[in-house]
């Protein structure tokens, strides 16, 4: 029997980030999208998700959701049957990255939040999609669903996250590591590092794709996740 699936969205993302993947995976069993708004720290977000999650489940997270997944693996590895890490990194923030995150939060608090978040989320996609009206609308909706206060909590949790690299070798479940070939926010080297550290992990590099793989190349991501669930 395949386990239920729990998706974890990224920074400023709602359940809509996985809208294309859910129909592809429903035949495996229940699929839920966790909230990342239930804690002040990465540890707190992970604990909140674990409280509501099934006893044992397949776990998939994108970007910041990947940070949460690695924290869940730290807290309750026995409950995770499979792991998928999309467009993410096991490394902690550098001081420069933390400074940039706080500067973004300042920008978000000034002026039109909806317009700011639409531009911020769209800018990390492949350049060919920067003018895609449909994707821009999705990004705006997701940002508004998270809200400014939620973004502030997510930002501080991300800044304070731990280095997950030392724990990667302890992961012994079927693992998919996926990244957009043109991801400039978290480059493919980070995913390659994760995949090399987890025994048997499958690395998938998606062509013509920036940071938001689930939205930019939904069919390729869904196909990779289906293969992961069948492994």
**Cα–Cα distance for residue pair 122/215, rounded to 1 Å:** 11
* Cβ neighbourhood burial of 25 (10 Å; 0-12, 13-18, 19+): buried
pLDDT exceeds cutoff 90 at 111: no
Question: Mean pLDDT in the chain?
Answer: 97
By residue count, the chain amounts to 231
For residue 223, tell me if it sits in a domain: yes
Question: Does pLDDT of 122 surpass 90?
Answer: yes
CA 26-230-225 angle, to 5 degrees, is 60
Would you say the C-alpha torsion 117, 40, 194, 219 has a positive or negative sign? Answer: negative
**pLDDT band, very low/low/confident/very high, at 150 (cuts 50, 70, 90):** very high
**3-class secondary structure for 154-221?**
HHHHHHCCCCCHHHHHHCCCCEEEEEECCCCCCCHHHHHHHHHHCCCCEEEEECCCCCCHHHHCHHHH
Give a yes or no: residue 27 inside a domain: yes
* CATH value at residue 191: 3.40.50.1820
Asked if residue 47 is part of any domain, the answer here is: yes
Asked if residue 19 belongs to a domain, the reply is yes
Give residue 224's domain range: 5-93+158-230
Closest of 35, 186, 32 to residue 97, by C-alpha:
186
Q: Looking at the DSSP assignment, which residues form a beta bridge with residue 5?
A: 31, 58
Alpha carbons 141 and 135: distance in angstroms, whole number: 10
- The pLDDT assigned to 1 comes to 78
Helix spans in the chain (H): 21-25, 42-52, 64-75, 95-108, 113-123, 133-159, 188-197, 213-216, 218-230
**% of the chain exceeding 70 in pLDDT:** 100
Does residue 168 fall inside a structural domain?
A: yes
In a domain, 102, yes or no: no
11-61 pLDDT tens trace: 999 999 999 999 999 999 999 999 999 999 999 999 999 999 999 999 999
Query: What is the average per-residue pLDDT within 144-172?
Result: 97
Instruction: Give the pTM.
Output: 0.97
CA 218 to each of CA 81, 97, 160: distance values in angstroms, whole numbers, following the listed order: 23, 28, 30
225 in any annotated domain: yes
**Overall domain count for the chain:** 1
CA 9/CA 193 separation, integer angstroms: 22
Does a structural domain hold residue 140? no
């Amino acid at each position: 029997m395949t386990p239920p699936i729990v998706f974890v969205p990224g920074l400023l993302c709602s359940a809509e980030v996985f809208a294309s993947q859910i129909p592809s995976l429903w035949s495996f069993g229940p699929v839920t999208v966790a909230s990342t708004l239930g804690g002040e720290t990465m540890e707190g977000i992970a604990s909140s998700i674990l409280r509501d999650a099934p006893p044992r489940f397949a776990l998939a997270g994108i970007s910041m959701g990947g940070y949460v997944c690695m924290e869940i693996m730290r807290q309750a590895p026995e409950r995770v049957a499979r792991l998928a890490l999309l467009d993410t990194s096991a490394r902690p923030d550098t001081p420069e990255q933390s400074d940039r995150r706080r500067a973004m939060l300042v920008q978000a608090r000034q002026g039109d939040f909806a317009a700011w978040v639409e531009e911020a989320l769209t800018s990390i996609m492949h350049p060919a999609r920067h003018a895609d009206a449909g994707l821009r609308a999705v990004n705006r909706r997701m940002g508004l669903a998270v809200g400014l206060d939620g973004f502030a909590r997510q930002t501080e949790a991300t800044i304070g996250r731990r280095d997950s690299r030392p724990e990667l070798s302890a992961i012994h479940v079927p693992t998919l590591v996926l990244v957009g070939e043109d991801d400039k926010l978290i480059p493919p080297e980070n995913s390659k590092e994760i995949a090399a550290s987890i025994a048997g992990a499958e690395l998938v590099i998606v062509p013509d794709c920036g940071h938001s793989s689930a939205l930019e190349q939904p069919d390729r991501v869904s196909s990779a996740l289906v293969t992961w669930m069948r492994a």
